[in-house]
Amino acid sequence: MQDAKRHGVEVLPTDVLSSNWDCTLEGPSSSHSHPAVRLGLRMVAGLQRATAERLVAARELAPFDDAEDLARRTELDESEMRRLAGADALASLAGHRRQQVWEASALKAAPELLRHAPVSEDFLELPPAPEGEEVVFDYASTGLTLRRHPLALLRPLLRKRQLQSAQELRNLPNGRWVRCCGIVTMRQRPGTAKGVIFVSLEDETGSIQVVVWNKVSERQRNELLRSKLLAVHGRWQREGEGEVCSLVASRLEDLTPLLGRLAEVSGGSRDFH
């Protein structure tokens, strides 16, 4: 997803007013010459396909007025509404995610006798969550985020540790000793590689390919296999004058706990005031 965005692909969020079950193409928009990708309702963790199809069928009859109208016409229960709210899919009906979750939690099924009775109560407006908290919930509910990359938020902490970005490594000469970190996106151990493990890291500026030789992988097996956010110290390797570059690891460091500080570094709190 991050690579697609870096290549100019416009990606639109999951939205109960626009998304189908599968991801679709929309547009092109006024600001892009190519169609945008609209994320589908299948991205919402735990949402059943039958539920999504029932939602789409009701929407085709008439647009939803608000979250309550959505729940009533599609017969969604509280847990299904909370899944949609947690994935930020009710934004066009209820605003920011905290407000969505609050409204979804309040939609209790009424007795049959009172199902169509009007309800009058004061509107409670909650403050939006800080960006770091939003990113954490994005990953938890959909497995990705359309907001800033987590490492963009953590970059001040990474600077203090003298960890370089993929962009900073890109033009370094062959043989330079460097240190960097990124979210682990892939680990592979080809049968023809004689035990060498290749790791792909991603930060907010791009990807880094890491080569881990046997002696390092045996010595630091836990860091290699369990880290979600991995720091690598090693020698930068550039093949000739080309663009093929990789980092040969000499030491690995598990920085996964830093991901738990996303809300903190963005200046927010998880409390609902």
For 178-209, the DSSP string reads EEEEEEEEEEE--GGGTT-EEEEEEETTEEEE
Residue bearing the bigger pLDDT, 194 or 30 = 194
Give the pLDDT confidence score for residue 272 in this predicted structure: 33
Q: What is the pTM of this model?
A: 0.76
Instruction: Name which of 12-26, 41-55, 91-105 the model is least confident about.
Output: 91-105
- Give 15-26 pLDDT, tens digit per residue: 999 999 999 999
Calculate mean pLDDT across residues 210-219: 95
Calculate mean pLDDT across residues 133-160: 92
Q: How confident is the model at residue 273 (pLDDT cuts 50, 70, 90)?
A: very low
Q: pLDDT at residue 40 above 90?
A: yes
Q: Which one, of 104, 88, 80, lies nearest residue 142 by Cα?
A: 88
Average pLDDT, the chain: 88
Residue bearing the bigger pLDDT, 32 or 255 = 255
Calculate mean pLDDT across residues 60-87: 92
Distances (CA, A) of 139 to 50, 134, 246: 23, 9, 28
Pairwise CA distance, residues 36 & 13, whole Å: 10
Give the pLDDT confidence score for residue 114 in this predicted structure: 56
Q: CB neighbours of 247 closer than 8 A, spacing ≥ 6?
A: 169, 178, 180, 208, 209, 210, 211, 232, 234, 235, 236, 237
Q: CB neighbours of 196 closer than 8 A, spacing ≥ 6?
A: 189, 190, 211, 212, 213, 214
Instruction: Name which of 90-94, 153-157, 235-239, 268-272 the model is least confident about.
Output: 268-272
The three-class DSSP label of residue 173 is coil
**Cα-based angle 185, 52, 140 (whole degrees, multiple of 5):** 30
Calculate mean pLDDT across residues 176-181: 97
Give the pLDDT confidence score for residue 108 in this predicted structure: 59
* pLDDT over 90, % of the chain: 62
Class of residue 247 by CB neighbours under 10 A (exposed 0-12, middle 13-18, buried 19+): buried
Q: How confident is the model at residue 268 (pLDDT cuts 50, 70, 90)?
A: very low
Q: Which one, of 200, 264, 258, lies nearest residue 232 by Cα?
A: 200
Set out the domains of the chain in order of their start, with CATH numbers: 2-116+126-142 (1.10.150), 157-261 (2.40.50.140)
Pairwise CA distance, residues 10 & 224, whole Å: 33
Tokens standing for residue 271: 């409390």
Instruction: Name which of 42-51, 76-85, 87-96, 191-200 the model is least confident about.
Output: 191-200
Give the pLDDT confidence score for residue 163 in this predicted structure: 97
Taking a C-beta distance cutoff of 8 angstroms, is the pair 269, 129 a contact?
Answer: no
Pairwise CA distance, residues 79 & 51, whole Å: 12
Q: How confident is the model at residue 180 (pLDDT cuts 50, 70, 90)?
A: very high
Q: pLDDT at residue 111 above 70?
A: no
Q: How confident is the model at residue 115 (pLDDT cuts 50, 70, 90)?
A: low
